[in-house]
C-alpha cells in the first residue's frame, strides 16, 4: 500500500482461521541501535522516524505486519538510557512499561561493537524481570567489512552475547535492518514464538498511530537530520491542523524549542533552515499520504518544556503505568 491512508476502504477485521498466529513483539535496546529501522523494514513502509542522533524515538509506536498465516504487531520503543531530564525519565519508563505487555521481545544491539555497559544493563533487567521469549538481534552486520573483521575478531564480540544467550536460552540472529539481510529468517523465528490468535487489526493497517502524529514526527526527523548539538533534543512538534481538500492536504504545524537561540538556529539565515526542514518534511508527508501536501511551520519558544510535566503531556509524552 502506498501511503498509510486508505480513505475509501471499509476496514474490517476478519475472523482468523484455525492455525492463524498473532501477537505483540516489543523492540527494545539502547538508543541508536536500529530499532525503528528494523520495524520499518518489517512493515515495508516508513512509519517510525530514524536518525543517527540517539533518542530519536520518543513514543511507543506499533507497526503491524499481516501475512496469510500471521499478524505480528511490533512495538517500537524509545532507546533505554540514563535519563538527564524529565523527558528522558518518561521515555525510559514508557519503554519498560511497553515490554510488560508483549508476547516476545527483540533485544536489538549494535553488532559491530562489543557488549557494553548499556546493553548489559538491559540484559540484566530482562534476565531478572522478563519471562517471555527474547530474540537477541545483532544489527548493523552490513558494517562488518573485511577491515572490521581484522580489527574486531568477531568471535570476541559474539562471545560476550553468546554467554547471555546460552545462560537464558535466548535465540540470537545477525541482521542488517538497513539492507534487510537476515530479516526473513528473523521473521520466521518470531512467528515460531507466536501462539494461535486473532486478527487484532484490519489486515491493511500498518500502524496504530494517526497520520497526524506521523506528520509531526516527519518534521522532527528533519530537525534531527539538519540541526546540531542541543537543538535536536530540545524540540517538540505539534501538528495543529490538517485540512484535506480534493487535490491537496494543508498541514499547519508548530515547532517548540526551549530558547531564543534555538529558535534562531531553526529559522536560520533568511529563513533558510526552516525552509529546508519544511520542504524535506513535506516530501516525506506526500509519500506518507500518497498525495499533495502544503505545509506551513511556525517556531515558538516554550522554556524548559522538557522539565515540565504539564508541557510533556501537552506534547504527547506522558508517563504510562
Ligand X SMILES: Nc1nc2c(ncn2[C@@H]2O[C@H](COP(=O)(O)OP(=O)(O)OP(=O)(O)O)[C@@H](O)[C@H]2O)c(=O)[nH]1
Q: Would you tell me which residues interact with ligand X (CB under 6 A)?
A: 29, 31-37, 50-52, 54-57, 78-79, 139-140, 142-143, 176-178
Give the single-character DSSP code of 320. Answer: P
Please give the Cα distance from 173 to 164 (Å, whole number). 13
Q: CB 231 → ligand X: shortest distance, Å?
A: 16
* Residue 56 or 262 having the CB closest to ligand X: 56
List Cβ neighbours of 121 (8 Å cut-off, separation of 6 or more).
80
Nearer to Mg ion, 21 or 35 (CB): 35
User: Cβ closer to Mg ion: 21 or 46?
Assistant: 46
User: Between 72 and 109, whose beta carbon lies closer to ligand X?
Assistant: 109
Least distance in angstroms from the C-beta of 84 to ligand X: 14
Q: How far is the CB of 243 from Mg ion (least distance, A)?
A: 30
List binders of Mg ion among 172-231 (CB under 5 A): none
Smallest gap from Cβ 205 to ligand X, in A, equals 21
Considering the complex, state which of residue 212 and residue 233 has its C-beta at the smaller distance from ligand X.
233
- Does position 55 bind Mg ion by CB under 5 A? no
Give min distance, CB of 34 to ligand X, in A.
3
x/- mask, Mg ion, residues 35-54, rule CB under 5 A, reads xx------------------
Q: Is 57 in the site for Mg ion (CB under 5 A)?
A: yes
- Residues 277 and 107: their CA atoms lie apart, in Å, by 32
Residue nearest to ligand X (CB): 79
The distance of closest approach from Cβ of residue 149 to ligand X in the complex, given in angstroms and rounded to an integer, is 15
Dmax of the chain from CA atoms?
A: 62
| 77 in contact with Mg ion (CB under 5 A) | no
**Rounded CA separation 18/154 (Å):** 43
Interface stretch with Mg ion, choices 28-36, 242-250, 254-262, 295-303 (CB under 5 A): 28-36
Q: Is the C-alpha dihedral spanning 57, 229, 51, 253 positive or negative?
A: positive
Give the Cα separation of 77 and 70 in Å (integer). Answer: 22
Residue placing its CB nearer to ligand X in the complex, 18 or 52:
52
Cell numbers given for 185: 529468517
Cα atoms found within 13 Å of the Cα of residue 292, Cβ hemisphere only? 5
Give me 169's grid cell.
536460552
The listed partner (ligand X, Mg ion, none) that binds 314, CB under 5 to 8 Å by sort, is none
For the bound state, the minimum distance from the C-beta of residue 54 to ligand X, rounded and expressed in Å, comes to 5
Spatial contact of 154 and 119, defined as CB atoms under 8 Å apart:
no
Nearer to ligand X (CB atom), residue 140 or residue 220: 140
Element (H, E) at 310: helix 309-314
139 counts as binding Mg ion under rule CB under 5 A: no
- CA dihedral 191→195→196→197, nearest 10 degrees, is -100
Render 205-250 in DSSP notation, one character per residue.
--BSS-HHHHHHHHHHHHHHHH--TTTGGG-EEEEEEEEE-SS-EE
Whether 14 contacts 199, CB under 8 Å: yes
94 lines the binding site for Mg ion (CB under 5 A): no
CB of 41 to ligand X, least distance (A): 9
Binding residues for Mg ion, rule: CB under 5 A, are 35-36, 56-57
Amino acid at each position: 500500500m502506498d501511503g498509510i491512508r486508505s480513505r475509501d476502504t471499509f476496514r474490517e477485521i476478519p475472523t482468523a482461521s484455525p492455525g492463524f498466529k498473532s501477537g505483540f513483539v516489543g523492540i527494545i535496546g539502547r538508543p541508536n541501535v536500529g530499532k525503528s529501522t528494523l520495524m520499518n523494514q518489517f512493515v515495508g513502509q516508513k512509519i517510525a522516524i530514524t536518525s543517527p542522533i540517539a533518542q530519536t524515538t520518543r513514543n511507543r509506536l506499533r507497526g503491524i505486519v499481516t501475512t496469510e498465516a500471521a499478524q505480528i504487531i511490533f512495538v517500537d520503543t524509545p532507546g533505554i538510557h540514563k535519563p538527564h531530564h524529565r523527558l528522558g525519565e518518561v521515555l525510559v519508563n514508557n519503554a519498560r512499561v511497553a515490554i510488560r505487555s508483549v508476547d516476545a521481545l527483540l533485544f536489538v544491539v549494535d553488532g559491530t561493537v562489543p557488549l557494553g555497559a548499556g546493553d548489559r544493563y538491559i540484559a540484566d533487567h530482562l534476565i531478572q524481570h522478563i519471562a517471555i521469549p527474547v530474540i537477541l538481534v545483532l544489527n548493523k552486520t552490513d558494517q562488518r567489512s573485511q577491515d572490521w573483521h581484522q580489527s574486531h575478531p568477531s568471535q570476541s564480540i559474539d562471545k560476550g552475547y553468546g554467554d547471555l544467550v546460552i545462560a537464558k536460552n535466548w535465540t540470537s540472529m545477525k541482521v542488517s535492518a538497513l539492507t534487510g539481510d537476515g530479516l526473513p529468517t528473523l521473521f520466521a523465528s518470531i512467528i515460531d514464538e507466536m501462539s494461535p490468535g486473532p486478527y487484532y487489526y484490519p489486515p491493511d493497517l500498518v500502524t496504530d498511530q494517526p497520520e497526524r502524529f506521523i506528520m509531526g514526527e516527519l518534521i522532527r526527523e528533519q530537525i534531527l537530520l539538519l540541526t546540531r548539538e542541543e537543538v535536536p533534543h530540545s524540540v517538540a512538534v505539534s501538528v495543529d491542523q490538517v485540512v484535506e481538500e480534493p487535490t491537496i492536504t494543508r498541514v499547519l504545524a508548530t515547532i517548540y524549542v526551549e530558547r531564543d537561540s534555538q529558535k534562531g538556529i531553526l529559522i536560520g539565515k533568511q529563513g533558510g533552515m526552516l525552509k529546508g526542514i519544511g520542504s524535506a518534511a513535506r516530501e516525506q508527508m506526500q509519500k506518507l499520504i500518497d498525495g499533495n501536501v502544503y505545509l506551513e511551520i511556525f517556531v515558538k519558544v516554550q522554556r524548559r518544556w522538557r522539565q515540565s510535566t504539564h508541557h510533556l503531556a501537552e506534547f504527547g509524552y506522558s508517563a504510562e503505568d
